[in-house]
Amino acid sequence: MTGWNKLFTLFALTILWSCGAEKAAQKKFNLGEYQVAIEKYGNILSKNNNHPDANYFVAEAYRMSNRARLAEPYYKKALSSGVRNDSIEINYAYALKANGKYEDAKQTIEAYLKRAKDEDMIRRANEIATGLESLDQIKEIKNYYKVKNLQDINTPATEYSPIYNNGYLYLTSNRDNDKIYKATGQGYTNIFRVKTKGANVDISSFEALSEAINTININEGTITFSPDGKIMVFARGNGSKRNSGYDVDLYMSRERNGQWTAPQMLGTAVNQPDSWESCPAFSRDGRTLYFASNRKVEGAQGGVDLYSARMSSRGRFSKAQNLGPAINTSGNDMFPYISDDGHLYFASDGHPGFGGLDLYKVTRSSGQLEIENLGEPMNSSSDDFGIYLFKMDRGFFASNRESGKGDDDIYTFVNEDPDLKIINYYLSGITMTKDDDDNMVVLPNTNVKILDYNNQILDETTTGSNGEFVFRVYEHENYNLIGENKEGNAKYLTSRILFTTVGKGVNRDTLTQLTTDITYDTLLLLEKQEVNKIFVLENIYYDLDRWEIRSDAAIELDKLVTLLSDNPEIKIELSSHTDSRQSDSYNQRLSQRRAKSAVDYLVEQGIDPIRLVAKGYGESTPFSIKSENGNEIVLTEAFINSKTDIDEREELHQMNRRTEFKILEITESDENFNEDRFFDNN
C-alpha cells in the first residue's frame, strides 16, 4: 500500500470513528446519562480539544447534572468554535456567574441581548442581567447570619435537604452506595437520619431509613413531614430503567406503630407524567403541600416552578396551583419551606443573586409579596438551598460552596440580629347560625375560605363540631371571609364578611420576646336558606318623598349584590315599606318606586333581572318587634302614637320605613361562588 493510500485509509478510519463516537455520546446524553456522555465526549476532546459539538454537549451535561461551574470552559470553547443557539450564551453567563465571574457574565448577556429574538430567552437573559446589576445592592444588605459546616455529618459525598422531625435530623445522601447513577457518576441517593439536639448530632445513631423507603438503583430525594410527624412525603425517581431525568415523583408514607408504610405515589393532582416533581414541604397546619415541578402547563413560568396543593381530611390533594410570577421565574425555583411564622423560604437561580441557587425569603407587606435575598454568608456564588429552621433564629441549609468537605454539605446557621422579633397574626372565628327562636348557635361542618384583597383564595378549611376556624393573616391587609354550608339536609346562605388588620398591628418596640402571637376573633353568621324567609336590609335610607338611591344606600345594596353573587340559586323579592304618615295610595306609589329603584341598581351591578322582583307594600305591613317578655308587638300607628316620647315615636316610625328581601325560589345550581365581584379595599 502506498503512503498516500495509507494516509487516506487512516483519515477515513478517523472520520468513521469520530462519527461513531459522537453518535454513542449523543445517545447517552439523550438518555440523561450525563456522566457517561461527558466521558464519551471527553474521548473525542482528547483528540480534538476544540471540537465544537463535543465541548457544547459536555457543558450541557455538566449543567443538566447540576454542575454549572464545571461547564464554563466548555461553553467558552464551543462559542469560540462557532456554536450558536438560543440558549448557549445564557447558559454560559450562568456558569460564569456560578464561578463568581460577574463582569464576564454581564458582558456575555449584554452581547446576547443585542441580537436576541426569542421572547422566552430574552426574559431569562433580562433576569440574569437584572440580578447582576443588583449584586452590589444585595452585598450591602446588612444581616446577622453566621454559618458553620456541620463537620460531624458531612463526607466527601453529597449531603443535602436537612429537615428535623421528632428528635431526628433527616437528610439525603449518596454516601456508601456503589450503585452508580449515570447522570452524575455518583451513587444513588438515599434518605438517612441521625439523632440531634439542635446542631449537636449523635453521629453514632446515623442510619439509613428502611428498605420500604430506600430502594436499590433508585434516587430517594428531598423529604418533608406533616406537623404531627405522622405523614412523610418524599421524592423518588431516576431509576436504572429510565434515565431521562424526568421520572421523579412524590410519594407518601404514613407512620403505623413506629414503622413507615409502603410508600404510595401521589395522584395526578400533584404528579404529572413526563415531568419532574420534587422538593416537598408541608405548611405549618399540614393542609397544604408545596413542591417544585418542571411541568409544561398553562401558568408555568419556565424552568422549575413552585406549586401548592391543598390536602383534604382524607389525604386527597386538590389540583396543584402555580405560585405565580411574583415568586416563580424563567429559571429554577425550588426547595420551598414554610417557617413557623408563615414565611415562605425557597431557593432560586432566577431572582437576583450571587450565582447558582440562592436562598430567599418571601414576606407580605400591605398585600404585596416581597422577595428578599438572605445575603452573604447564607448565599455564595455556589448552590445554596434546602433551608430549615428548627427555631426562629437558627437552622440548617445545604451548599456546595468550596469551603465544604465534598459535594453538597449541610451547614448550620444562627441569626444574631438583636432586633429580631417574630409576630404571628391569626384570625380565629366560629361559624354560627340562628335557631328557630332566633338564638345564635354553632354551625359545624362549614367550609370557610379567606381571600386577599385581590380576591385570591389564601386558605380554606372545614370547621368541626365546634365550628372553629383559624387562619394566618398579615399586617396592613384587608380580607374577605366566606362561609358555605349546603351539603346537609338544612342548607344555608353563603355568607361573606370583611376583616382588616389595617391599624391593628403591634408596635415591635414594645415587645420583649423573640416570638409573639396575636389572635383576632370574629364570628361568621350563616342564615338558613328557606323559601319565604325575610331579611331586613339595614341603613337603606331615602330623601324625604324621594326614591333615588343615595350613596349610603348604595353601600348597603352592594352587600346584597355580593350575597346574590355568592348564592346564584336564589330568586328574591325586594320590598320597600313606609310609615303611615301619608295616604295609603301615596305610600303605595312611593314604596313601589323605591323598590323598583333598588332592583334597577342591583341589575346595574350585574344581577340577572330574572332573579329579582320589586314590590312596594306602602304602610300595609308594619314591622314587628319583641317585647321584654318575648311577646310580639306590631308597630301600628295607634301603638306608635301611644308613646309620649317624641324620639321613641320617630325611632318606631323608622323601623316601619324599611327595605327587605324575601327568598321566593331556590333552584338547583352547580355554580360556585363568584370571586370576581365587589370587594371593599378601603
pLDDT bracket for residue 7 (50, 70, 90): very low
Amino acid at site 496: R
Nearest alpha-carbon partner for 434 in 309, 362, 364, 523: 523
Backbone phi and psi for residue 117, each to the nearest 5 degrees, phi listed first = -130, -30
**Which residues, other chains included, contact 411 with Cβ-Cβ below 8 Å and sequence gap of 6+?**
147, 148, 149, 150, 396, 397, 398, 399
Q: What percent of the chain has pLDDT over 70?
A: 91
Most confident range, picked from 32-36, 119-123, 205-209: 205-209
Report the pLDDT averaged over residues 129-134.
90
Calpha distance 673→483 (Å, rounded): 10
Q: What is the pLDDT of residues 451-487, one digit of tens each?
A: 987 788 888 888 999 999 999 998 889 999 999 998 7
With beta carbons less than 8 A apart as the criterion, state whether 225 and 252 touch: no
Give the pLDDT score at 183: 81
Cell 452585598 -> residue: 139
pLDDT at residue 541, as a whole number:
60
356 membership: H or E segment, kind and range: none
Rounded distance between C-alpha atoms, residue 484 and residue 566, angstroms: 9
Percent of the chain having pLDDT more than 90?
Answer: 41
pLDDT digits (tens, 9 = 90+) for 626-664: 777 777 777 776 787 777 778 777 777 667 777 888 889
Name the pLDDT band for 575 (thresholds 50, 70, 90). confident
pLDDT of residue 372: 94
Please write down the long-range contacts of 10-18, taking CB distance under 8 Å and 24 or more positions apart. 18/44, 18/47
| pLDDT for the residue 304 | 94
DSSP string, 527-581: -B--TT-EEEETT----TT--SPPHHHHHHHHHHHHHHHH-TTEEEEEEEE--SS
Pairing of strands 231-237, 248-256: antiparallel
| pLDDT value at residue 238 | 61
State the CB neighbour count (10 A cutoff) for residue 682. Answer: 5
d(CA 211, CA 493): 52
| C-beta of residue 361 within 8 angstroms of C-beta of residue 417 | no
CA dihedral 158, 159, 161, 163 (to 10 degrees): 170
pTM: 0.78
pLDDT digits (tens, 9 = 90+) for 340-359: 888 999 999 999 999 889 99
HSE, CB side, 13 Å, CA atoms: give it for residue 554.
Answer: 11
Q: Which of the listed CATH numbers 3.40.50.80, 1.25.40.10, 2.40.37.10, 3.30.499.10 matches domain 16-139?
A: 1.25.40.10
Nearest CA among 324, 312, 249 for reference residue 280: 249
Cell of 70: 464545571
Question: Same fold for the domain at 16-139 and the one at 534-666?
Answer: no
Find the length of the chain: 682
Query: Who wins on pLDDT, 655 or 316?
Result: 316
Spatial CA neighbour of 492 closest among 663, 266, 297: 663
The pLDDT, as a whole number, for residue 300 is 87
Residue 344's pLDDT is: 96
d(Cα 595, Cα 659) in Å, to the nearest integer?
8
**What's the DSSP call for residue 319?**
P
Q: What residues does each domain of the chain span?
A: 16-139, 145-415, 422-525, 534-666
Q: What is the pLDDT of residue 10?
A: 40
CB 223 within 8 A of CB 253: no
Strand 384-391 versus strand 468-473 pairing type: unpaired
pLDDT of residue 18: 53
Give the C-alpha distances (Å, rounded to integers) separating 26 from 23, 37, 242, 403.
5, 7, 16, 34
pLDDT for residue 246: 54
- In 3D space, the residue among 113, 68, 110 whose CA is nearest the CA of residue 92 turns out to be 68
CA 148 – CA 640 distance, rounded (Å): 81
Residue 507 has pLDDT above 70, yes or no: yes
Name the CATH code of domain 422-525 (choices 1.20.1560.10, 1.20.1090.10, 3.30.300.30, 2.60.40.10).
Answer: 2.60.40.10
pLDDT tens for 73-84 read: 999 999 998 888
| Rounded distance between C-alpha atoms, residue 395 and residue 391, angstroms | 6
Domain 145-415 grouped into CATH 1.10.10.60: no
Rounded to an integer, the average pLDDT of 19-46 is 86
Which of 679 and 132 is assigned the larger pLDDT? 132
Q: Is 667 exposed, middle or buried (0-12, 13-18, 19+ CB in 10 A)?
A: exposed
Query: Which residue's entry shows cell 445522601?
Result: 173
For residue 412, what are the β-bridge partners? 148, 396
pLDDT at 673: 45
The pLDDT confidence band at residue 226, using thresholds 50, 70 and 90, is very high
Identity of the residue numbered 630: G
3 state DSSP class of 344 = strand
Cα of 545 vs its chain's centroid, Å: 54
Planar angle of CA 433, 436, 441, nearest 5 degrees: 30
Segment among 92-101, 515-524, 641-650 with least mean pLDDT? 641-650
The β-bridge relationship of strands 612-618 and 570-577 is: parallel
Res 217 pLDDT > 90 = no
State how far the Cα of 269 lies from the Cα of 288, in Å rounded to an integer.
13
CATH architecture of 534-666: 2-Layer Sandwich (3.30)
Instruction: Please classify residue 385 by burial: count the beta carbons closer than 10 Å to its beta carbon, then call 0-12 exposed, 13-18 middle and 19+ buried.
Output: buried
* Matching residue, cell 310580639: 632
How far, in Å, CA of 461 to CA of 313, rounded? 10
Is the predicted pLDDT of residue 621 greater than 80, yes or no? no
Gap between the Cα atoms of 265 and 239, Å rounded = 15
Query: Higher pLDDT residue, 22 or 204?
Result: 204
For position 515, what pLDDT does the model report? 87
pLDDT of residue 675 exceeding 50:
no
pLDDT digits 0-9 by tens, 240-290: 454 444 579 999 999 998 889 999 999 999 999 889 999 999 998 888 999
Q: Would you say the C-alpha torsion 149, 151, 157, 163 has a positive or negative sign?
A: negative
> What does the mean pLDDT of the chain come to?
85
Q: Which residues contact 671 (CB under 8 A, 6 or more apart)?
A: 568, 569
- Rounded CA gap, 451 and 430, in Å? 17
Q: Phi and psi of 489, rounded to 5°?
A: -65, -45
pLDDT, one tens digit per residue, over 541-554 is: 665 566 667 776 77
CB 128 within 8 A of CB 97: yes
Distance CA 306, CA 247 (A): 18
The model's confidence at residue 584, banded by pLDDT at 50, 70 and 90, is confident
User: What are 174-201's pLDDT values in tens digits?
Assistant: 998 888 888 888 889 999 999 998 889 9
